[in-house]
Structure 1
């Protein structure tokens, strides 16, 4: 089976609501105004697929609790859940869709190849992703030409560099070209790994095959033992348990309706009933107080978050004033003629009349503001803790109220009308049903976990069969890098010709660096930023297209942030470019709207090639604004559209209900 990643939903679980984006097979487009959280969606997906860190946005910091990704890895459904405030905490993986995580036990993984004394015995998240995608786990030589070279572990993150390009890297001269020689060498080895062109691939795959076979035997043994236990314990099937839970839910609903009906008609004049009734009233008042405190804490978090941002802005202003002072230099003491009144201006006299702060005083103010930033961060953290404590108190209050209701019913059972005795029967039955439901849910979790073992065995069978086929294929004809690069160059040429750049000639891939060349010029030496953007997108599309026709170690998944970078679309670009680059862009005519449209059309046609061959691919594109003349053509692929001014009823951003000045 060809490896693929298919994201169904991204969710940020908040304090009061969830924020989500749904995705589809093929092309998905996210666009809108700047600073509406478009890039944060890709950043979160990257983070949930193992990135080392996630730079918190103020809106997410104020509203979010954790993030989750509902995703299919080689057609098997998982939900990946991760703490957005502490990247070192284990990543949780549930074998189900996001809506069903409460019915499944999770498995935890370490986010990086660093063992943690706090979480002993956990496997690495990268291993989970590689195994789930049927990608062989190998070690790469730091110096491939040396026999005694040190081996380094290949990570899923090494492969994902070829699946995701952010807005800073797209079109930049340093795209996939690190200044670190060791990292650059590793990137080249990863490139060869993707195309099964590593010299050590066969021996590595044989080692992986041995590990997979052993793992399958272990899981199969565990599966048989659990199956025998379930038979002896007379566990119901998953279908039966699901039906039982649904039936109990219907019974609970009916009993609650009966109890509510009785509560509306129940009246008692006895003192003990009035005492309990008064206590219930006090509980209600206390609940309103806690709710008000909770709202106050929320407002305080938002207020101090805004204050922190104001301090940061002031720091930046002070730093700007220092920079301006350094550029202007010292004020001349010479006398000048006023251009308005022709009187002499004495600079020394102006200094005496006006206070001019020196750099040391400004530096002192900057340090003071930094301390205030830290103080506000501390207040925000403490307020959030208080907020959570209040919510805990609310839950405790609910338990006290429930207990008071039970006492009320027991003490009025024989002193009130007969229908109160009936209510007591219903209450007892309700408790029994709730406990019975808990038992069924626990049994359902066991059954689901056992079912997941079966899924793991089937997945391993597919992996083992694929590994055997890969080994046999490599033995028969290991691909040469020259043929690989030639095919990629053909793909890139077809793309550049489709986009209609000027003179798509002498297209190739460098045999040493594996970088793309256009007109015989290596990618990083192209002067036009717009042309580099076009070629950069073509480089990634060429790799994706290659995975359609060959068995690659590549998951047929692509994310591109800010497609129109340097292409001069309908609105002014926010990127600063040099005069030389602007001249080169004009010469290339990269702002021609047809080129921008052709890029989208090529990507859409590429996704349709996958669909026509019954293959899965997913491409997620982010842009600041899609030109009006092609919005209609792309409307079927748009999954999110944001407007900072809420035009046409559009949401203000990914986080759509927090008002924080950034």
Structure 2
């Protein structure tokens, strides 16, 4: 029979006294006052075993830096697992060590399962569970077993032991099939490495299981979204209907306040467009003035030139007959060969210059008229622009006065629309959940089953379950628990006591029954030589005696079960290590057969708590 045992838990810090607790084979009891670090011990063990979540710090932990958990394998070899309280990987050193290891000591182990050199693979090797494959979904897909898959079965914190969740499940929906497969493996010794569905009826059932697994996953997500809603469904329905009416009224108010606003805005836009066109026209006129100024200068230049030509021609015409003033030829030569001499007829030149001068002066007059017209147009426009701007300013003031009402109405509309959309989204969550449930109902036909229960019917051996139930019954019988007939319900993956499901009881009774199941599973696997780490840590199984609430808890609290609880350990196999963490004092006789550690919560007597008083 292979397994591991806790041997010592040590927490170190620079300048701090070591916090230490020792464990022995068989029964260990850590008990005493509240707030002394008892539950913290379980969290430290879990962290040393590879949990991704460091223990919630308690005030006494300040200054401590690392946890060292020593375990012992079946061959009595000790191994110390060392891990920083900040997280990270684990260093594994053979033997019992009292100081923090160096990088040369031992070997580093990954806190995650996948790497070849991981803590999970190391621990699985020590308990002979290496290479185990477990079914992880209804489709028959498998994955490697990780030690973290087992942790919730052997390390049971107070919250888990009291919960309605099945003892074989961690509470994570996505791992239910895997955890059921682990339970089957622990009770039968058969993993799923060679899983193969050949029977047609089983294949059909597996198909239904796969459908249910998908739908149940969607239902779980949809249900969580519904749970996050802080209103009842009827309240949201009423709110949605009221918001419909409110939205109509908000739109009506917005429409009324927007009429004048839109009219004024439209008028302002038209006036601004008119002003912009006038400004553009003034700019065009200014550009024309620049061009016309150049043209006027050209006309003036032409007039001066033509006037000079006209005057020169008149002067030449008045001179005596002589050589031509143009080419120097005598006048009697001009008619002989007119093609070879100039046409220096000053009278013709004078007339041509006079005619051209008249044209230029006419164009100059036209230009002057055009400039005068444009100047008058520009003056008129410049008088009109301030009038338009004044009207625009007046309209802007009116718009500004209307704006608060319009903005208020728009804000109200947006708020109502947003609130209506929120209510609609909330209702959509409810409708989605309803539709998924209807779809599920159409598949199962009203039966109270899920994908895991279908798989359970096909793979669980009823004889094995009966034997396990009998083992749990034996423990409850020793405890004299009322109504001892135990039945393991495959559909719920949990036990029933005399027909009443464990989860239907109060938290105190649920804690007792969870403890009975966990102890029963430990004894069953040992008796039948099935795989199990062969250790168990239970935090607060007797919680009902501290705070009984329901009728069944009050009835149980009046019984002698708190003393009878330890009777189960009178003949306990010491190869099965069990650690009980409790507030309540154990019976005095158990101190002789168990390894006990009491935390008094006092600095004046006994040990105050897990962490030493400084």
TM bucket normalised to smaller: 0.5 to 0.7
**1:140 has 2:140 as partner:** no
Contact 1:196 1:479 in 2 (8 A): no
Match of 2:497 in 1: 518
Match of 1:378 in 2: none
User: Residue 158 of structure 1 is aligned with which of 141, 144, 149?
Assistant: 149
Work out the CA distance in 2 between the residues paired with 1:178 and 1:4.
22
Q: For residues 314-369 of structure 1, what are the alpha-carbon distances to aligned partners after superposition, in whole Å with 9 as ceiling and x for unaligned?
A: xxxxxxxxxxxxxxxxxxxxxxxxxxxxxxxxxxxxxxxxxxxxxxxxxxxxxxxx
After TM superposition, give the deviation of residue 637 of structure 1 in Å.
Answer: 2.1
After TM superposition, give the deviation of residue 81 of structure 1 in Å.
Answer: 3.4
Work out the CA distance in 1 between the residues paired with 2:166 and 2:109.
30
| 1:150–1:555 Cα change, 3 Å | same
Match of 1:655 in 2: 611
Contact 2:166 2:493 in 1 (8 A): no
Match of 1:83 in 2: 83
Work out the CA distance in 2 between the residues paired with 1:150 and 1:106.
36
Contact 1:189 1:198 in 2 (8 A): no
User: Residue 545 of structure 1 is aligned with which of 487, 505, 523?
Assistant: 523
Contact 2:5 2:534 in 1 (8 A): no
Work out the CA distance in 1 between the residues paired with 2:523 and 2:483.
23
After TM superposition, give the deviation of residue 34 of structure 1 in Å.
Answer: 0.7
| 1:108–1:178 Cα change, 3 Å | closer
After TM superposition, give the deviation of residue 504 of structure 1 in Å.
Answer: 1.9
Q: What is the correspondence of 1:418-457 to structure 2 with a 5 Å cutoff?
A: none
Match of 2:39 in 1: 39
**1:625 has 2:604 as partner:** no
Work out the CA distance in 2 between the residues paired with 1:94 and 1:555.
20
| 1:76–1:53 Cα change, 3 Å | farther
| 1:73–1:619 Cα change, 3 Å | same
Work out the CA distance in 1 between the residues paired with 2:84 and 2:190.
36
After TM superposition, give the deviation of residue 638 of structure 1 in Å.
Answer: 4.3
Work out the CA distance in 1 between the residues paired with 2:135 and 2:163.
28
Kindly tell me the number of residue pairs found equivalent between the two proteins: 350
Work out the CA distance in 2 between the residues paired with 1:502 and 1:553.
31
Work out the CA distance in 2 between the residues paired with 1:198 and 1:75.
25
Contact 1:22 1:639 in 2 (8 A): no
Match of 1:585 in 2: 553
Match of 1:597 in 2: 563
Work out the CA distance in 1 between the residues paired with 2:105 and 2:470.
48
After TM superposition, give the deviation of residue 182 of structure 1 in Å.
Answer: 2.6
| 1:80–1:633 Cα change, 3 Å | closer
Over the aligned positions, Cα root-mean-square deviation in angstroms equals: 2.7
Q: For residues 275-312 of structure 1, what are the alpha-carbon distances to aligned partners after superposition, in whole Å with 9 as ceiling and x for unaligned?
A: xxxxxxxxxxxxxxxxxxxxxxxxxxxxxxxxxxxxxx
TM-score, normalised with respect to structure 1: 0.49
| 1:651–1:180 Cα change, 3 Å | closer
After TM superposition, give the deviation of residue 55 of structure 1 in Å.
Answer: 2.2
Q: Which structure 2 segments of 5+ residues have no match? A: 197-457
TM-score, normalised with respect to structure 2: 0.53
Match of 1:562 in 2: 540
User: What SS class does the counterpart of residue 81 from structure 1 fall into?
Assistant: strand
After TM superposition, give the deviation of residue 592 of structure 1 in Å.
Answer: 2.9
Work out the CA distance in 2 between the residues paired with 1:163 and 1:199.
19
Work out the CA distance in 2 between the residues paired with 1:4 and 1:60.
33
| 1:606–1:127 Cα change, 3 Å | farther
Q: For residues 468-514 of structure 1, what are the alpha-carbon distances to aligned partners after superposition, in whole Å with 9 as ceiling and x for unaligned?
A: xxxxxxxxxx9952121110111111111211122323x21113343
Contact 2:494 2:501 in 1 (8 A): yes
After TM superposition, give the deviation of residue 70 of structure 1 in Å.
Answer: 1.6
Match of 2:185 in 1: 193
| 1:551–1:57 Cα change, 3 Å | same
Work out the CA distance in 2 between the residues paired with 1:590 and 1:566.
8
Q: Which structure 1 segments of 5+ residues have no match? A: 116-121, 205-477
| 1:18–1:129 Cα change, 3 Å | same
Match of 2:265 in 1: none
Contact 1:50 1:126 in 2 (8 A): yes
Work out the CA distance in 2 between the residues paired with 1:6 and 1:633.
20
| 1:102–1:655 Cα change, 3 Å | closer
After TM superposition, give the deviation of residue 203 of structure 1 in Å.
Answer: 8.1
